[in-house]
Structure formats: structure tokens, C-alpha cells
Amino acid sequence: MHELSRQISTLRAEVDYYKKELAGLRHRTFGLDEIVGESDSIRRLKEDIRKVAPLDVPIFVSGESGSGKELVAHAIHNLSRRMERPMVVVNCGALPANLVESELFGYEAGAFTGARREGRAGKFEMADRTSLFLDEIGDMPMETQVKLLRVIENGVFERVGSNRSRSTNFRLISATNRDLRRLIAEEAFRADLYFRINGVTLRVPPLRERASDIPLLVKHFVQRIGPRIDSKIQRVHPKAVQMLQTLPWPGNVRQLRNVVERTVILAPRDRLARIDSDLLPSEIVATPIGGDSGGSTLMGVPLREARENFEREYLKVQIRRFSGNISKTASFIGMERSALHRKLKLLGMAERRDDDDED
């Protein structure tokens, strides 16, 4: 009974948190400050956003799942001339195939079984004079892509069940984690649509390429969640942060946020100030360097080769932690910069970018 009571209490805490999180999102303005990080790649991304946001051209945001593409879209919108009206967001991958067109184009009364008696405006209509964010556009059906191309080119569309043309004027921002060029080759995405949505491309780097931002991200997530659940936890122990920096993070920033939030929510109330490594989820603590699932590879090779494999993987993780900066990496691991360069060359890693001049 005690264990059941504890689980119920934990679930209630999580539900309360996510209710407050949802309420906060409804009134939240997303800007460049929401894109947390000071790595070179994030600084360049923010600078590019500042440049393109005022221009009324289509923007294509590429990046892996969970890397923060929607945050980039919101930042672009909130720095644009259309910021007075809320951006309209559509997740193309979440729309049922039989409802894609009615959601995008809207429909007239009686257009199909189950349609509202008064009809309904679609996302294109709702996005008039503001920005339209089409997330996961790579999942859009081919037949819908043809109609989307027409709307982008001349701003004209018809509701489902109507022959009357309507006009709209929106700024298109689209994103996907899929390789659109490969989809074009497979005839699953239209080349002409690709060139229309790809006015300017912004790439959101995966978290493994900017591991130096993880301490800032962890601090940001802890500070955001604490007040919502009345937690006294204010920080994560440096050793725990270092452990987080060595992980591959296939789910990127979203996965890191989930780990931090869940850890804070489940932390014992007697932890007054910080999270130590022992409070991290077991699957995180158990993940070895580089995310490999076991040591069988090392066990099956001679000592010299095993040592080289370990050194190569270890240095790969440390260089990633410092976003490619060789000087900072050398200082952290206790080597001279020139010695580290020689080691990288010896291990076949000399092609790595050296960002020593871009601190």
C-alpha cells in the first residue's frame, strides 16, 4: 500500500506540473532567449534568424526530431512584421490522411459526413496576415502537395465542398526531420514544392554537436520547472552535468528536457538544493561513452587496438562536449594542445574542425 500511495503521489505531481506547463504555453511568447545556448553553432543560428525574420520570404527549418525546430519557427515569427497575430501551427505528421485537406483548406457545410453544420475555416484561412508553420511537411500526401503549391504561388484556395475561390496572405515556415532530397528521388515529395518552400534554409544542430550548451540547458530546465512544482532544487551537481554531456542524446533537447524535468519531479523532498548523479534515471547513468550498448567490441581485440578504440571514442566525446574547440578540450583532459593534435592525427581524427579562434 505504501508503494502504491507513493506512485499515486508521483503521478499527481507529474499531472499538476504538465497542467501548469500547458497553461503557461498559452500565454508564452517565444523569442531568441528560448533558444538556449552559447555554442558557435547556436550563435550563428540566432544571427541568421535575426537576418531572415524581417524578410517576408519562405523559411525552411531542417533538423533532427527534438532539436528545437518549432522554437526557431516561433522566434522567426516573433521577430517578423506579422508578430501582432499569433502564428498558426500545423503538424502535418499528426493529421489523419482523410482529414488533411479539410484541416488545411477548411470545408463548407455538409461537405462530408460529420462536417459541422456551419462549415469551418482551415489553417490557410486562419493564417491570413500572419505566419503559417507547417511542421513535418515531409509527411504531407502528394495530392495535398499539389494544392499547397498553388496556395503558396498565388494565395488562392477553395474550401472542401466549395467552388468559390478564397484568398490568403501568410508567411510560410516549414520544417521536417526527413531528407526531402531523398523523398524527391523516391517520388514521395514534389521538387517544385521543395524549391518554393526553400527560400532560406536554417539548420538546427543536434544536441550532440553542441554538448557545451548542456550545462546552460540543464540550468534553464531546472529553473523553469522548480516554481511550478514548489521544488527547492536549484541546480544539478557538476558531475551529473558532465555525465549528461557524454551521452549521444538521439532525442536531442527534448530528451534532455524530459530527463531533467522527470528527475526534478521525482527527487525526494529532502534534497534541498541540488540533483546528484544518483538521482538521474538508471538508463541514463548506465549509458556508456558514445552510447554503445556493450563492451564486447573491446573484449574481442588485442590490447593496443582496444586502447586506440577507447581513446578515439573518448576524444570524440570530449571534443563534442566542447563543440569542436581543441584548446578547451586539451585543457580539460590535461594535454598540451599540440600533443592533442598529434594524438588526433595518429588516431585518424585530424580532419576535425578547430574552433580555437571562435571562443
Between CA 67 and CA 255 the distance in angstroms is: 9
The domain of 91 spans 34-205
Last residue of a domain, one of 266, 287, 308: 287
Between CA 138 and CA 180 the distance in angstroms is: 7
pLDDT at 79: 96
In a domain? residue 27: no
pLDDT at 230: 73
Task: Residue 266: give its domain's CATH number.
Answer: 1.10.8.60
pLDDT at 345: 83
Last residue of a domain, one of 242, 268, 287: 287
Q: Same domain, yes or no, for 201 and 224?
A: no
Q: Same domain, yes or no, for 132 and 58?
A: yes
In a domain? residue 352: no
pLDDT at 347: 81
Task: Residue 310: give its domain's CATH number.
Answer: 1.10.10.60
pLDDT at 243: 83
Q: Same domain, yes or no, for 282 and 300?
A: no
pLDDT at 212: 94
Could you write out the three-class secondary structure of the chain? Answer: CHHHHHHHHHHHHHHHHHHHHHHHHHCCCCCHHHCCCCCHHHHHHHHHHHHHCCCCCCEEEECCCCCCHHHHHHHHHHCCCCCCCCCEEEEHHHCCHHHHHHHHHEECCCCCCCCCCCCEECHHHHCCCCEEEEECHHHCCHHHHHHHHHHHHHCEEECECCCCEEECCCEEEEEECCCHHHHHHCCCCCHHHHHHHCCEEEECCCHHHHHHHHHHHHHHHHHHHHHHHCCCCCEECHHHHHHHHCCCCCCHHHHHHHHHHHHHHHCCCCCCCEECHHHCCHHHHCCCHHHCCCCHHHHCCCHHHHHHHHHHHHHHHHHHHCCCCHHHHHHHHCCCHHHHHHHHHHCCCCCCCCCCCCC
Task: Residue 114: give its domain's CATH number.
Answer: 3.40.50.300
pLDDT at 169: 96
In a domain? residue 330: yes
Last residue of a domain, one of 179, 205, 231: 205
Q: Same domain, yes or no, for 282 and 306?
A: no
Q: Same domain, yes or no, for 159 and 241?
A: no
* pLDDT string in tens for the chain (359-residue length): 655 654 565 455 556 545 554 555 444 557 899 999 999 999 999 999 999 999 999 999 999 999 999 999 999 999 999 999 999 999 998 888 788 888 999 988 866 666 677 788 999 999 999 999 999 999 999 999 999 999 999 999 999 888 899 999 999 999 999 999 999 999 999 999 999 999 999 999 999 999 999 999 999 998 888 777 777 777 788 888 888 888 888 889 999 998 888 888 777 765 545 666 666 666 665 555 445 444 444 455 576 776 777 778 778 878 877 888 888 888 888 888 888 888 888 888 875 444 444 44
Give yes or no for a contact between 355 and 212, defined as CB atoms under 8 angstroms apart.
no
Q: Can you read off the three cell numbers belonging to residue 339?
A: 600533443
Number of structural domains found in the chain? 3
In a domain? residue 14: no
